[in-house]
Structure 1
Amino acid sequence: MTVDTIPQELLTDISQVFTSTLFKIGDNPVSLRSIVELIVLFMAVLVISRSFTDFLKERLLVRLGIDEGNREAIAVILRYLIVALGVVTAIQSIGFNLASLAVVAGGLGVGIGFGIQDLTTNFVSGLTLLLDRPVKVGDFVELEGLMGIVKKISIRSTIITTNDDSSVIVPNSTMISNKIVNWSYENPLLCLRLSIEVAENSDPLLVTETLLNIAYAEAGVLYEPNPKVLFVEFGDDSFKFELLVWTDKPTEREVIKSSLNFAIEYNFRQQGIDFPFNDREIYLKNPEVLLSFFKKNETANEATEKSSHNGKKNPISPGEIKKRSSLSCLLREVEYFETLTDLELRQLIEVGYRQRLRPQEFLFRENDPGDAFYLILSGSVEVFVEAIDKHLNNLGAGQFLGELSLMLGIPRTASVRALEETILFAINKEGFQKVLTERPDLSEQIVQEIVKHKEELSERQQILREMELVDAAEDDENPVEWVRKRLKKLFNV
């Protein structure tokens, strides 16, 4: 045997090792070569499917504006379809007869089914999650005390990232069979409820206003939907309220609630609103000793009061000064609302909302619809005619604007923009209509106040006539009757 023939024989032997039949599956011989080819093809299928679906999810579907949950579902389903088709193609490409393979698989099916029962359940549950989509990637969910954001849904399991950045792998069967609170289902906003108890001598109007001010001041709380305060029930020695706020930052819910609680404690203390305390019965051995002590203190207090009065008025406490500048007091200074009761003022505060303006930001412009009334809580605005660049007035905290445009449905006759960071209390048409519906007699009071401004009223009426916004049945030379008809048409009162 020559030296040149040795490599040839070696190659022949190696080739025989790779091509010789190791075993048979049905009528299909299985060799080492076919196994290697199948492994290489499988790896190619996996790489191609992953690369394609990643491109689809991170680029193409993003450009089409599809949300994260839908992108993930489409990508996962397509990936498994590509893998399934690729596996079938790879098996056929190396000469396997799938019909004979199916016969063998059928024979082993019963035993394999019992062995991979949980895997099959999770697989079917994964398909259900991806197709039915009760939960999708990006949703904020609560499951058996576990709260977090769904980061990935695969065929076997779902990955949830908790608020402390821990990743929890949950079998898909658990996601399907157990009750899940999906805070993001059909609505990405999360509602937070805070229960508050106050002492029974507290003013419900002041409590409502203080809670709403706190809610609007919290950075994580949304202005829309508007925060709400509910008077839940009467306790034994307390009033029970609930503050409802909405946020688009579900992962920060605990931080936001903590911040609100801190603010409630501080502001209640500033406003003189007391929290209830539990009564305790104390039994004294010698009560006459304590009784004599109280009598001495009472005598001393009477002497102090006599010396402090001497014809002088008591000074106003800081709490009283704050109360006078509260929203309820500012609303009472508006001539249309000055006779409202505390209960009616509370309804007015509830239907309103806060609006924040940055410096130089417009509140509205000339000819915009007159659909809201505004009361300036802080900051200042400029009123001017934009068409001729004429300055009319500057308005500051405690002043109001836009009431006639709202009540008579008149387009804005001037533009308003903020001179500095400004917060306004606003009542839109829907909120004002709700108040008038609940208190019809308020409309007559508004009529009497509006007609006091006869000159301005005539100008507004003429503007509406020129714009052909006054119906013949509604028009009236008598301003009182015209305002009544206008209010009835706009607000159905």
Structure 2
Amino acid sequence: MNTIPEELLTEISEIFTATLFQLGENPVSLRSLLELIVSFMAVLIVSRAFTNFLKESLLVKLGIDEGNREAIAVILRYLIVAFGVIIAIQGIGFNLASFAVVAGGLGVGIGFGIQDLTTNFVSGLTLLLDRPVKVGDFVELEGLMGIVKKISIRSTIITTNDDSSVIVPNSNMISSKIVNWSYENPLLCLRLSIDVADSSDPLLVTETLLNIAYAEAGVLYEPNPKVFFVEFGDDCFKFELLVWTNRPTDREVIKSSLNFAIEYHFRQQKIDFPFNERDLYLRNPEFLLSLFNKNETAIDTNSGSKNGRKMVVIAEKMKKRSPLSCLLREVEYFENLTDLELRQLIEVGYRQRLQPQEILFHENDPGDAFYMILSGSVEVFVEAIDKHLNNLGTGQFFGELSLMLGIPRTASVRALEETILFAINKEGFQKVLTERPDLYEHIIQQIVKHKEELSERQKELRKMELVDAAEDDENPVKWVRKRLKNLFAVGTEN
């Protein structure tokens, strides 16, 4: 009774072990194929599990960034798969030497059919090893912008700002020009072109744009936002606002927010955008006038009133001045500066935001910046004995002598509330002095008016051994000139 089942099992065994075809010197059976498939599946499962653990756990603990984690994981996965396949083939008794001969013969013919696949494969290895682009980078490719989510051997997946996943062949990533906004420097520069009416005050436009930029949450204080007067257009002035952000994925949101703010603040400051005027020429004006003869007088009257109102508005705008420029003119060293010189001061300056009780600087810190309070208030005090000296509010300034003469701070300053400061540091002040030698001489004349204070500061510097012997002089004018020359590398000794 057991004869039939035994014969059936024997037949089934013979079917599985029977040679289907020869691969070089190696016979291929159904059993060897099944063993090979199971081995391949096991290799894939093990490689995926191991690299996922590596990428999501071990490499994270080691502090490796996302892009490097992905590259390491992908390369190791394919190495594990490659070695696993070789071991699996040898494990079922295949002779790889003879198999290589057959594969070499087939490879010539197959290679022509999978050229694109091979190109993408090599390109994928280049991306993973050379890493011009890595996972997490914000890139722009042929009008496509987004974050690189995955780099495989064949393709790269980019997630756009609208959450669409775009699969890009690796060959395109290598051969096309890519703007990698995250390469080395993760900051993104945004450029906004703004045209204003030619009746606008360029100084007011510059300050308004800078105020808008500093007030935007997504804009960085460093690098400082910049405003360029690009050119004179037809009935307009062309400006460009440059800001930097570390949130490249929000670039459109930030630009939109800035545009809204520009429209609002320009309206508040009475800064007009240019409007295009068009002249209409008629072939038969007499015929048209005959049709509207009754309204001719009204049209002329209205036209005149509009032009009159326009002239009044322009006159009012010309009288309006930049608030910050007015504040800077309250500083005696800057009171006689022209609008161009004031604009340069505003451009080299920057905004600094302080939270309540935040210390701006301590006594004896280097005097490397001049500050003006745009909003809020600060307390000036002696920290060593916790003695209150003064409170300063909006429009007041401090630190000008410390900056100009390189004198250490004589007191500490902290914010009493949320405060925004306009600041000019040593580098910015040096740039202005270098380009404006007349300002250099004017400042010297203003400084030496305070002979008593100047003498006290000079004595303090001598005690602290901060006065170079070559610059020391009993004549305050000569000493200040030498001091400025040494600190800012400008001017000539008289």
Tell me by how many angstroms 1:100 deviates: 0.7
Q: CA-to-partner distance for each residue in 1:301-342, whole Å, 9 max, x for gaps?
A: 9xxx9xxxxxxxxxxx9x899x56711111111111111100
Aligned residue number for residue 366 of structure 1: 363
Aligned residue number for residue 439 of structure 1: 436
Aligned length: 474
Q: CA-to-partner distance for each residue in 1:56-114, whole Å, 9 max, x for gaps?
A: 32233333333222222222112111211111112112211101111111121122112
RMSD of aligned residue pairs (Cα, Å): 2.5
SS in 2 for 1:407: helix
Q: 1:107 to 1:228 in 2, by over 3 A?
A: same
Counterpart Cα distance in 2 of 1:19 and 1:163: 56
Aligned residue number for residue 18 of structure 1: 16
**Conserved 8 A contact 2:200-2:318:** no
Aligned residue number for residue 383 of structure 2: 386
Corresponding residue to 1:339 among 336, 339, 342: 336
**Residue 62 of structure 1 pairs with residue 60 of structure 2:** yes
**Residue 254 of structure 1 pairs with residue 252 of structure 2:** yes
Equivalent runs, 1:70-469 vs 2, <5 Å: 70-282=68-280, 285=289, 286=293, 289-290=297-298, 293=301, 326-469=323-466
Q: Bigger shift: 6-15 or 252-261? A: 6-15
Aligned residue number for residue 478 of structure 1: 475
Tell me by how many angstroms 1:8 deviates: 5.6
Tell me by how many angstroms 1:182 deviates: 1.9
**Conserved 8 A contact 2:350-2:424:** yes
Counterpart Cα distance in 2 of 1:92 and 1:296: 97
Q: Bigger shift: 160-169 or 276-285? A: 276-285
Task: Give the unaligned 5+ runs of structure 1.
Answer: 306-316
Tell me by how many angstroms 1:12 deviates: 4.6
Counterpart Cα distance in 1 of 2:166 and 2:86: 34
SS in 1 for 2:422: strand
Counterpart Cα distance in 1 of 2:148 and 2:8: 57
Tell me by how many angstroms 1:132 deviates: 2.2
Q: 1:462 to 1:56 in 2, by over 3 A?
A: farther
Counterpart Cα distance in 2 of 1:155 and 1:282: 63
SS in 2 for 1:198: strand
Tell me by how many angstroms 1:435 deviates: 0.2
Counterpart Cα distance in 2 of 1:275 and 1:204: 13
Task: Give the unaligned 5+ runs of structure 2.
Answer: none
Q: CA-to-partner distance for each residue in 1:321-372, whole Å, 9 max, x for gaps?
A: 9x56711111111111111100111111111111111111111112222111
Q: Bigger shift: 106-115 or 202-211? A: 106-115
Q: 1:184 to 1:480 in 2, by over 3 A?
A: same
Tell me by how many angstroms 1:459 deviates: 2.9
With normalisation by structure 2, the TM-score equals: 0.90
Q: What one-letter code is carried by the residue in structure 1 that aligns with 2:164?
A: S
Q: Bigger shift: 424-433 or 438-447? A: 438-447
Tell me by how many angstroms 1:452 deviates: 2.9
Q: CA-to-partner distance for each residue in 1:30-66, whole Å, 9 max, x for gaps?
A: 2233223222222222222222222332233333333
Tell me by how many angstroms 1:297 deviates: 6.8
**Conserved 8 A contact 2:161-2:249:** yes
Tell me by how many angstroms 1:159 deviates: 0.2
Q: What one-letter code is carried by the residue in structure 2 that aligns with 1:337?
A: F
Counterpart Cα distance in 1 of 2:70 and 2:304: 78
Q: 1:110 to 1:294 in 2, by over 3 A?
A: closer
Tell me by how many angstroms 1:134 deviates: 2.0
Aligned residue number for residue 312 of structure 1: none
**Conserved 8 A contact 2:207-2:322:** no
Counterpart Cα distance in 1 of 2:345 and 2:303: 48
Counterpart Cα distance in 2 of 1:360 and 1:47: 57
Q: What one-letter code is carried by the residue in structure 2 that aligns with 1:87?
A: V
**Conserved 8 A contact 2:381-2:388:** yes
Q: 1:120 to 1:295 in 2, by over 3 A?
A: closer
Q: What one-letter code is carried by the residue in structure 1 that aligns with 2:157?
A: I
